[in-house]
Each structure stands twice: as C-alpha cells, then as structure tokens.
Structure 1
Amino acid sequence: MKTKNLKNSKVYIIGSGIAGLASAVYLIKDANICSENIHILEKDLIAGGATDGAGNAEQGYVVRGGRMHEMHYECYWELLSHIPSLENPNISVRDESYEFNERFVSNAQARLLKDGKKLDVTSYGLSFEQQMDFIKLTYVSEKSLGNKKIEDWFDESFFDSKFWYIWCTMFAFQKWSSLVVMRRYMKRFMHLVDGLPKLGGVMRTKYNQYDSVVRPIQKYLEERGVNFDMATEVIDIDFDLSDDKKTATVLHIKNKSEIIIKENDFVFFTNGSITESTNNGTWDTSAKLKGLEESGSWKLWKKIAKKDASFGNPNPFCDNIDLQKWYSFTATMKDSTFLDYMENFSGNVDGTGGLVTLTDSNWLMSIVIARQPHFPNQAKDVKIFWGYGLFPDRIGNYINKTMAECSGAELLEELYYHLKIQELMQPVTKAGKVNCIPVSMPFIDSLFMPYNIGDRPDVIPTGSTNFAFLGQFAQAPKDCVFTVEYSVRTAQMAVYGLFDTNKEVHPMYEATHNPKYLLAALKAINR
C-alpha cells in the first residue's frame, strides 16, 4: 500500500551521498512531501559521500576518486535536469555537463604505457577461447554464477591481456571481484566496448563532482527548506517486526536523544559506504589505514542486519579490507611542467585523455588529468591531477616501500620514474611547487566483492511500511554498482515504491538489445 496522506509526514534520510540527495529531490518534486519535513542525517561535516572534492592551492586539493559518466545514465541525467547550475542558474547541471562534454571529448592517445612508452591498443590481445568466454558470460544467467570470482571464469593469461588492463583500471576490478558484477558491466556498457581503448563515450562534469553535482543539489534542497543535520550519526534503528510487516520505529543518535518515527513518517538508509574510514596522508607522511571501527554506516548496517534476514548481509562487503582497499592521491602543482609534458607526450590536452595506466607498475598505478581548473577556486597557475594504485601492498619498482607506506613525495617519485621524467621534475620539487596528498580507502572496492543473492537487501524489503535502503549496497536489478546512476536509481525505486506518485522508475538502457552495438563489441574483442 503506497502512502497518500502526506500532510504531516516526516522523512529521515540517513546519509548525504548522491542517493540520499536524489531521494530528497524526488520526495519534494514527485511525492509532494513538505520540504521542511525532510531531514538528511549525516555523520560527517560535509555532504556528498563518494562524490567529493575539497582543498585549496596552499594545503593541497584532494579528490578521493571520480565516478565515470556516460550518456545513457537515464536516472542520473533526469535528476540533474531539474537542478540549476551554480555558475549559470538559467541552465541545468545536466545541460552544463552536456555542453562541457561537447567541447572536451574523450579520445585517449596514451591509455596504456610500458617502460615510459605508449602501447598499441588497437588489439585487445584476447585469444579465441577468451573471446568465447567473454561472449558466454553475457548469455548465462546471473543466478547460475552464484558468488564466483572473475578468476573462476577466465584463464590466467586473460589477466595479462590489454583488454584486462584497460577494463580493470577503468572500473577498478580485481581478479577476485564478483563475476556477477563483471557480467552486469559487460552487458550494461556493451555500447562502449568498441571505444574503451580511447575512453570513447566517457563523460565528465565541468569541475570535480562535489562542486559540479553535490553543491548544486544541496543548494536546491536548502533553498526549499530541507534540513541538513550534519555531525549526526545514527547508531541503531528499532523496528516493529511481524510476519507480514516491518516498520521502523526509533532512530538512535550518537550522543543525542532518540528520534521517534511516528505514523506516516519514513526512514531511508544508505547502507554501506565506499568512502567510509578514509584517511589522508601528507607530502611527508603516508595515509594510515582505518577500518570498521571508524565507520558509521557499516556498523549500523551490521546491527540492523541481525534483526531481520531481509535487511541483507553486510559481511561479504566489509570484512575483507585487504581485498577491498586501494590508495589514491591528488597532486597540486604551482607549475605547468608536468601537465605540459603529458600533453606533448600523449597528444591530449587536459580533459580529453582520461586514464593513463602504467602496466609495468607493481602498484598498477594510473593517473587522470582532468580539464583545468578542476575546482572553481583553482588559480590559472595551479594544476592538479589524480591517481590511484590497485595493488597498494606491493613494493614499488623504484621506491623500496609498499604504496601504502609511501608519502605523497614518494608516490610522485615512483610515478616520475615510470614516466622517465625524474630529472625534468626535480627542479619543480626542489622549488617546493608541488604537493601530493595520499588517501587510504579501506572499503573502496567493497561493492565488487563476491556475494550471494540476498546479501544486498531489496530497496524496499518485503513487508516494509516505512523503510527503504539506498545506494550501492541495495539491490537494483541489472544495473551496475560503482556508478552514480545506480545510486539515483535506488532513490527513484524507494520514493516511487513507497509513495503514490504515478511515476515509474526510468528504464535502464540495455545496449545488448541493439544489434549495432553487439556487432561492434564482437569485432572489438576479435581485433
């Protein structure tokens, strides 16, 4: 039964990531909830979750990561079509992003490097057997795969192919990642397979995703009276559970009184987080690895999961930090030497090249040079770029430490070694014109961990009267985690499922239904 009597309804949204923010927009726009009755409860002091970006030229900028965009994010772009741009309120964030991507088109000329030189990526380098395994995977049922890993499906040589280097670094897959998730990616992004070596079809926002997406949505909501209750951590939820009904009744707030969930009130919970417990290092110090003890959403999910089987099982997603972690870093330079070199070397102006992967790096390091400025407050003479490594526990090729043990200075020295530009960059470093901040991310790949059906709870569990799950660890059929599209889709599912809106969740674009893309993908893997 969907709710109709909404006059006095209050909605409490736990977590201010893109799923929580999107839910608030849809609650106002489509469910006619009074905006002053919407409370976004956030443990941290800043909204946005994984769509983040912060800093300045003096202390250094930090972008923990960036979510890939593409044209067929039906839910995401529809959401942003209602949000005015901060720089030009006469256009939407969607239109601002579309215009930006018309001017800066992804066409990577240096996708893979080895020994400081570009690799030819005209062929994926897959054997006939591997091509057949690729095709078979798209046609088997998801249910038949259980909790298999990618390495259970493909032979060992597959993981030395150019296809795998391009694929795993673009999406951050590991050999031990979920085969079900890889199958979803292959089907969902079939239309991009032909252009993957040059990152064709990949879209970006004008600035980092916090400034381009989160801040405009937050402003939109605040102007309408939505309450952002920051530094507010929910540590437990009480439920009234019976055979046929599940009703949230009380929110327990850390160091504060309880929130009683009254009749016609609702609770949305972003269960799990890929950016929980992250920690920053400095130019001189490494980033320390934290874990479950410092997290909020993981501990909360663990508590409520014990109360009812339909609330999922967080353990596969958060109990194996050594398999889930990687480290990223953001370099801030008051000098253009590095970006000038990369532009001349790659043939890409900033904002058109995307990911550059060092295939002979023990850490499997990749970097991205976004269009400058990447922050609205970034001066013209300041340049930034982002990088990450998938194997942080391996000793570097040049620095005799694991990536996890390295300071920002050491991370850049390892990068310069692989690019053969140590001498070029030495004067810049000596002049103190560069900073680099490493970030440890214990749960960043948690959404790719192998799992069983039911481990991700349904967005609206069977029998729920006033409660929904949101985000990357709720179950959205067919769609792909680690995307903003997935988060916004769960927001639509929650709002349109619990409220009488006469709205339907936007259908997912399925490239496999288009023979043109199927044929192009088959030709691409056969090159």
Structure 2
Amino acid sequence: MTIHQHPHVTDRDAHFVGGGIASLAGAAFLVRDGNMPGENIHVYEKLDVVGGAMDGAGDPDEAYLIRGGRMFNYPAYECTWDLFESIPSLEDDSRSVKDVMDEFNEAHPSYAKTRLMHEGERIDAGEYGLTSQHRQSIARLLLTPEPRLGDTRIEEWFDESFLETNFWYVWATIFAFQPWHSVAEVRRYMYRFLHEFPRLHTMEGIDRTKYNQYDSMILPLRRWLEDRGVSFEYGHEVTDMDIVPSRTGRTVERLYCETDSGTETVPVEPSDLVFVTNGSMTDGSSIGGMDEAPELNETGASWELWKSIAEDNPQFGNPSVFADNVTETKWESFTVTLHNTDLFDHIVDFTNEEPGNGLVTYLGSNWLLSTVVAAQPHFANQPDDVKVFWGYALFPDREGNYVEKPMSECTGREILQELCYHLQCEDRLPELLDDVTCIPAMMPFITAHFQPREPGDRPEVVPDGSNNLAFLGQYAEQPRDVVFTVEYSVRSAMTAVYEMLDLDREVPPVTKHYREPGVIADTVRAAYR
C-alpha cells in the first residue's frame, strides 16, 4: 500500500460494503483501536438486517430460521475472542459476550456419543479406519507446500477408499468438505485444528453460543456500534465503485448504491477508507416453506460487485473461480420449529444425544443428512414449550431414500418425511408433523470458499497499490488461517483496519498447535485407531 500523509482519523470517513461479521468487526476495531468516531463509519447492507451468515430470525408463531450454525474453538479463534471480550452482552452489560459463552460452555460441554449412525445403529466414529496408504497421503499433504498443490481436488489427492472412512465422514460433515473441493484447504484445516484431530468424533473441542449466533453475538455487537454512532444504511446494495488509477496507486472515489428510491451516489475522499466484503457464502439464498421448495439462484450482489471491480483490476482476485459453479458450491439446510415436540423427543431418544451435545450424521442417507439439536432455547424469544432443531445435507441433488426426489426439489414437509425414514419413525407419519414447521434454505455459494484455487484468486486484504480500499471476509487471502470460520472474517477485519490506519498494534498470530509435541503424539495415535 502506498503511504500518504492522511488527516487525523477524526476527519476521515469509513465505508463498509456489506453488513456481515467482517464489516461489523472492522467497524468495532476502527472505534476501539483506531479511535475513529462512530458517526464517521457507514455500513451499507442490501437487506434490512445485518449479520450475514451469522443469522437467526423468526418467532414461535411464524417459525424460526437459521441458515447455518457457526462452531467455535477456544484454543484457536484468537481475533474473535480479542473482539468479543470487549463487547458487553445483552443480558448483563457488566459481562462480555465471551464471558457468557464461557459460562454456557462450562454448563453445556460438547461430547457427542452418537456422531455417526447407520440404519438406526450407532457407529463407533472414534475408529477412524485409516489405512497405511491413507496415513501416508495425509503426511504427504502436510509436507507439501501449499503453492505446489495448486487447484488439486481432494478426490485427486486421496483414493476412493479414503472417502468412505469414518474419519472422512466425521471430517466432511463437521467442516462441509466435498470430494471436489480444494485439497489445499484441507491442508490448512489440518494444521489449524491438529489439536482437535484425536477428538473430532466427540466434538469436545467445539464451543457454542448460548443462543443462535445472531442473538448471542451479532445483536450485542450491533448495539455496541449503534451506541457509538455507527450508521447502518439498510436497503443499500452497492453495485459499483469508481476506482481511479494513478502513479501513486488506486483510489476509490465513489460508491453507487441501489435503494428503493433509486440510485444513490456516495462520494469518497482520497483519505477515506473503503472496506468491501467480496463474495458471501449466503448471498443468493432462497427460503422455502413447509409446502414449498426453495429456488436455486445462480448469482448474488456481492459476487456481481466483485466481478465488476476485478474486471479492470487483476490484483483484486478472480471471483469466477468461486462463483461460477453453483452445482459444486451449494447445499441445503432446514430449520424445524416444533409446537408438537414428539419428533424432537424421538430424535433425542433415537440418537441417545442430549440437546446441545453435537451433530449426528445418517450414513445411510443418499443426501448425507445431518441434524443438530442445540441446547434449548436456541432463540432468545423461544418459549419453553417450543423446540427448535436444525439440519443440512451435503448432496441435495441426489434422490432421497424415502422421498423419491432430490432434496433440492423438496418442500419442508418432504424433507421431514425423509428424515423420519432415517429416524425409523416413518410409520408415525403424518401425526409427527402436526404443528411442526420446516423451513428449507438453499444456499448456492455456501461452500464456494472451498473451490479449487490458485495463488492470486483471492485478493490480499490490502492489495498492492491500494490507497484506500481493503477486502474483508472469506475471500480475502490470509496465509495459514482457514475459511468457513468466524475467525477468518474477524481476522481479515483486524488486519485491514490495523494496516489501513498504520496502527502500532499486532494482529494475534495463528497459534501453531501443530508444533506441540503432545498434539503431534496424540494425532499419530488417533490416526491408527
């Protein structure tokens, strides 16, 4: 980045394109660490709510919706904890969001007893089933420098038998990897979470929020920002930017927003800051209903903007690598709201898992269905007599075992019928579904960040020659950290703010647990189970 003499931070404005966690974190770091007045910060969001993929909406009457659930890990997530240790919780402003999470996880520790099931029987997921050849492939992957892997796919690196091991089923359904995804991303995950390798099957290292992530993290963060004067411009879809090249670099001079009133132009001074979330995992999402299947969209606002500004600026990355193959990047989730709790109770009894314990995957499912029964209540406004659970499937285009159609064409009712088949309670249909609502959500780009890529396909957080533009989120390159995590987004925001303001502060490094002798020894032992 070209260094200039800028006005004092109180005389500069900051513009955030997109209202996800990366933008909210960036705004918080500007205020907390950069001493920028909140009223100088503007967040532009096309929807009427912020939070991006960290969502949670609805009520007991109209049903609840969470498109996905974020999991956390205390030994990692360095930047996330740095942020949320300083954000007061909504329940008690004398305690931080992190304090409330600590208390909740101490009271509700994760320990999955039934991580995998097949035809009603519990599978011992702790027996990873790796052969000598599998272990050699993993070791070779860890020893191969990432640039040499290029756009190699997982199915090209490992043989077919690896993709049928208990280890792979556990790994793939926790992190949402598909065989056609990038093996370089698997390598990063293995280094980042090697300390969890021995206990992936129990999910003991998984930490969660008290409620869904919107209620527990986004709302407190938004309130903190609003209290400091940060402005949220809802219904503002940024569609283009004027980026002017010169001998001193590239400078954003103008934003173009589509609103209900038409096109608005936002002037940007050379000393102002612009932070863009380029690409979004939940962009283009479509919501169905109990008797309606969701549609499949093939584009979204964040992707169109990224493509527009990258067309004449190759250092801004290659969005088409991630966005142009929704067949490989989509999957579908569903949220179930139950006033009649018989199905909820049956899942608890059938899986022998108490609410909050973990994730159950049904290996006999053509869709590769999984369910998550969180500790109740999962929403702050959820009554005691209403239950909620969530599920998803990695192969929505395959025909179901019971419902003879792809999940992508199914209504919420049909998804529950398929689930009941794997729960061996289809004989109790339809009464199990009385007073139950299932809302499916199709997300065309939910795993786009895992697509095979080459160096340069993701732009740097602050690209070379950028005077006032930084990229945030899952598609801004950050060496050694892993995408599809809240941490990656928060880390990008901290990196961008500290660099753009030239702050004398260091971003917490990615912890190298893989260098700890105990971690290495435990991992080797687990690989032979």
- Class of the TM-score when normalised by the shorter of the 2 chains: over 0.9
1:19 to 16, 19, 22: 22
Deviation of 1:329 after TM superposition, in Å, equals: 0.3
Aligned counterparts of 1:357 and 1:449: Cα–Cα separation in 2 = 23
2:438 counterpart SS class: strand
Aligned counterparts of 2:373 and 2:19: Cα–Cα separation in 1 = 27
Moved more, 155-164 or 419-428: 419-428
Deviation of 1:138 after TM superposition, in Å, equals: 1.2
Write out aligned runs for 1:319-334 (5 A).
319-334=324-339
Deviation of 1:456 after TM superposition, in Å, equals: 0.3
Aligned counterparts of 1:487 and 1:500: Cα–Cα separation in 2 = 20
Residue correspondences, number: 522
Q: Are the counterparts in 1 of residues 343 and 432 from structure 2 also a CA contact under 8 Å?
A: no
Deviation of 1:247 after TM superposition, in Å, equals: 0.9
The answer to whether the aligner puts 1:47 opposite 2:50 as a matched pair is yes
Q: Which amino acid aligns with 1:312?
A: G
Deviation of 1:243 after TM superposition, in Å, equals: 4.9
Deviation of 1:487 after TM superposition, in Å, equals: 0.2
Deviation of 1:244 after TM superposition, in Å, equals: 4.5
Q: Which residue of 2 aligns with 1:315?
A: 320
Deviations 1:57-101 (A, max 9, x none): 121111100112010210001100111111111100011001101
Deviation of 1:42 after TM superposition, in Å, equals: 0.5
Write out aligned runs for 1:481-500 (5 A).
481-500=483-502
The answer to whether the aligner puts 1:301 opposite 2:306 as a matched pair is yes
2:108 to 104, 107, 110: 104
Q: Are the counterparts in 2 of residues 269 and 469 from structure 1 also a CA contact under 8 Å?
A: yes
Q: Which residue of 2 aligns with 1:345?
A: 350
1:516 to 511, 515, 518: 518
The answer to whether the aligner puts 1:289 opposite 2:296 as a matched pair is yes
Deviation of 1:424 after TM superposition, in Å, equals: 4.3
2:96 to 92, 103, 119: 92
Q: Are the counterparts in 2 of residues 337 and 425 from structure 1 also a CA contact under 8 Å?
A: no
The answer to whether the aligner puts 1:120 opposite 2:124 as a matched pair is yes
Q: Which residue of 1 aligns with 2:285?
A: 278
Q: Are the counterparts in 2 of residues 235 and 300 from structure 1 also a CA contact under 8 Å?
A: yes
1:480 to 479, 482, 488: 482
Q: Which amino acid aligns with 1:161?
A: T
Deviations 1:289-338 (A, max 9, x none): 1121xx11100000000121111110010000001111100011013323
Q: Are the counterparts in 1 of residues 130 and 165 from structure 2 also a CA contact under 8 Å?
A: yes
Q: Which amino acid aligns with 2:24?
A: L
Q: Are the counterparts in 1 of residues 117 and 360 from structure 2 also a CA contact under 8 Å?
A: yes
2:226 to 222, 227, 230: 222
The answer to whether the aligner puts 1:373 opposite 2:380 as a matched pair is no
1:441 to 425, 439, 443: 443
Q: Which amino acid aligns with 1:263?
A: P
Deviation of 1:525 after TM superposition, in Å, equals: 1.2
Aligned counterparts of 2:242 and 2:515: Cα–Cα separation in 1 = 44
Deviation of 1:263 after TM superposition, in Å, equals: 3.0
Q: Are the counterparts in 2 of residues 121 and 162 from structure 1 also a CA contact under 8 Å?
A: yes
Moved more, 512-521 or 320-329: 512-521
Write out aligned runs for 1:122-271 (5 A).
122-254=126-258, 255-271=262-278
Q: Are the counterparts in 1 of residues 252 and 268 from structure 2 also a CA contact under 8 Å?
A: yes
Aligned counterparts of 1:324 and 1:202: Cα–Cα separation in 2 = 24
Deviations 1:218-239 (A, max 9, x none): 0000011000000001110111
Q: Which amino acid aligns with 2:343?
A: F
Q: Are the counterparts in 2 of residues 6 and 264 from structure 1 also a CA contact under 8 Å?
A: no
Q: Which residue of 1 aligns with 2:361?
A: 357
Aligned counterparts of 2:79 and 2:161: Cα–Cα separation in 1 = 38
Q: Are the counterparts in 2 of residues 110 and 356 from structure 1 also a CA contact under 8 Å?
A: yes
The answer to whether the aligner puts 1:505 opposite 2:504 as a matched pair is no
Q: Which residue of 2 aligns with 1:407?
A: 411
Q: Which amino acid aligns with 2:420?
A: Y
Q: Which residue of 2 aligns with 1:31?
A: 34
Identity of aligned residues (%): 45
Deviation of 1:4 after TM superposition, in Å, equals: 6.0
Unaligned runs of 5+ in 2: none
Q: Are the counterparts in 2 of residues 31 and 500 from structure 1 also a CA contact under 8 Å?
A: no
2:10 counterpart SS class: coil
Deviation of 1:425 after TM superposition, in Å, equals: 5.6
- Seen in structure 2, the aligned counterparts of structure 1 residues 326 and 159 have a Cα distance that, compared at 3 Å, is same
Aligned counterparts of 2:228 and 2:492: Cα–Cα separation in 1 = 23
Deviation of 1:287 after TM superposition, in Å, equals: 0.8
Deviations 1:469-502 (A, max 9, x none): 0000000110000000000000011000010321
Q: Which amino acid aligns with 1:227?
A: S
TM-score (norm 1): 0.97
Q: Which amino acid aligns with 2:167?
A: F
TM-score (norm 2): 0.97
Q: Which residue of 2 aligns with 1:525?
A: 527
1:7 counterpart SS class: helix
Aligned counterparts of 2:350 and 2:110: Cα–Cα separation in 1 = 17
The answer to whether the aligner puts 1:75 opposite 2:79 as a matched pair is yes
Deviations 1:377-426 (A, max 9, x none): 00101001000011111100000110001111110110110110223464
Aligned counterparts of 1:333 and 1:363: Cα–Cα separation in 2 = 23
Aligned counterparts of 1:182 and 1:218: Cα–Cα separation in 2 = 33
Deviation of 1:132 after TM superposition, in Å, equals: 1.2
Q: Are the counterparts in 2 of residues 4 and 499 from structure 1 also a CA contact under 8 Å?
A: no
Q: Which amino acid aligns with 2:431?
A: P
Q: Which residue of 1 aligns with 2:396?
A: 392
Aligned counterparts of 1:166 and 1:424: Cα–Cα separation in 2 = 30
Aligned counterparts of 1:238 and 1:514: Cα–Cα separation in 2 = 48
Aligned counterparts of 2:423 and 2:527: Cα–Cα separation in 1 = 29
1:330 counterpart SS class: strand
Q: Which residue of 2 aligns with 1:457?
A: 459
Deviation of 1:204 after TM superposition, in Å, equals: 0.4
- Seen in structure 2, the aligned counterparts of structure 1 residues 512 and 402 have a Cα distance that, compared at 3 Å, is same
